[in-house]
């Protein structure tokens, strides 16, 4: 009995425990059902949201795929265009290099042109100055030309007068030459020395020993001549005499000299302006001279050379 009661108590206790457990399980199940219901609802909502997002992503993928295809096409086009641009760029580089070379040449030409332009400008300034100078000279020359024209007219008149005087002098000189030749011929006839003097050279010099042709400046007259083919019998010491006269043979008072006797076939007396004693040989060059006491007058003069025993030769000279 006690065992039955114990059994009943134990059975009753187990039932309570079982009920408690089942109740707990039921509570858990309810809770789990509620949780999972809520979870399922949330999952459903999330699933719908994800599906919507997936659809949107698909649309975006499709759009992006189209854009990628477009970009791929554009990329290929850009590559082709880039290749074309690279080739064009190389051509442009060559053109730029050529252009740079042309620019450098142009700059060099410009520099040279500027330098040349400066030189041209300097030359133009010089030419302008020269032009002004020439215009001034031309004006002066025109005035001088007018004066020269007037002078030329006066000179023409003087020339006419001079021509007349020259013709008259030529006539007189011709007469005097004839007389002089006759005198020389006469001297050779009446007083031959047996040899002659020739190759005469006359020089008129000033005080500074410079040559002159002006009578007023003449300080000394130098006379050179040759004695050639001197016979043996005359090749001894001999005195030579230099005589100076006017062209007509008249003596000159203001030339001092020594009066000597020429021992020719017909003895004659002459006034020697210079006397030289030399030893004669077959050929010699002789120099004699004289100095007038006052200025010589312009005109023609005779120079005659004598030896002790006769006449040797003569020449003439003129002073202006």
Q: Could you report the per-residue pLDDT of 218-242, keeping only the tens digit for each?
A: 889 899 999 988 889 888 999 999 9
Which residue in 296, 138, 149 sits closest to 213, CA to CA? Answer: 296
What gap in Å lies between CA 77 and CA 72, rounded to an integer?
8
> In this predicted structure, what is the pLDDT of residue 283?
92
In terms of pTM, does the model score above 0.85? no
Is residue 250 over pLDDT 60?
yes
Q: Of the candidates 306, 297, 248, which has an alpha carbon nearest to the alpha carbon of residue 273?
A: 306
Task: Name the range with the highest mean pLDDT among 5-14, 16-25, 117-126.
Answer: 117-126
Distance separating alpha carbons of residues 229 and 312, to the nearest angstrom:
12
pLDDT score at 274 = 92
Residue among 191, 171, 192, 194 nearest 267 (CA): 191
């Amino acid at each position: 009995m006690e065992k039955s009661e114990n059994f009943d108590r134990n059975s009753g206790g187990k039932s309570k425990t079982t009920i408690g457990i089942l109740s707990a399980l039921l509570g858990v199940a309810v809770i789990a059902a509620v949780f999972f219901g809520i979870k399922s609802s949330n999952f459903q909502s999330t699933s719908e949201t994800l599906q919507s997002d997936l659809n949107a992503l698909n649309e975006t993928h499709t759009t992006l795929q189209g854009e990628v295809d477009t970009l791929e096409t554009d990329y290929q086009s850009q590559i082709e265009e880039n290749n074309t641009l690279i080739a064009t760029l190389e051509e442009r580089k060559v053109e730029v290099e050529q252009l740079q070379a042309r620019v450098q040449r142009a700059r060099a030409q410009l520099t040279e042109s500027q330098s040349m332009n400066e030189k041209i400008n300097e030359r133009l300034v010089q030419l302008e100055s020269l032009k002004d100078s020439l215009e001034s000279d031309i004006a002066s020359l025109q005035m001088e030309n007018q004066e020269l024209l007037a002078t030329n007219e006066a000179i023409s008149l003087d020339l006419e007068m001079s021509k007349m005087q020259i013709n008259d002098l030529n006539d007189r000189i011709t007469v005097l030459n004839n007389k002089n030749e006759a005198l020389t011929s006469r001297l050779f006839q009446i007083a031959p020395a047996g040899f002659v003097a020739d190759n005469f050279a006359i020089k008129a010099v000033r005080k500074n020993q410079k040559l002159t042709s002006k009578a007023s400046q003449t300080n000394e007259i130098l006379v050179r001549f040759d004695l050639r083919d001197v016979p043996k019998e005359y090749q001894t010491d001999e005195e030579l005499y230099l005589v100076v006269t006017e062209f007509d043979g008249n003596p000159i008072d203001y030339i001092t000299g020594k009066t000597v006797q020429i021992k020719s076939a017909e003895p004659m007396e002459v006034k020697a302006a210079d006397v030289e004693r030399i030893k004669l040989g077959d050929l010699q060059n002789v120099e004699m001279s004289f100095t007038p006491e006052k200025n010589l007058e312009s005109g023609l003069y005779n120079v005659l050379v004598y030896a002790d025993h006769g006449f040797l030769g003569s020449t003439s000279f003129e002073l202006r």
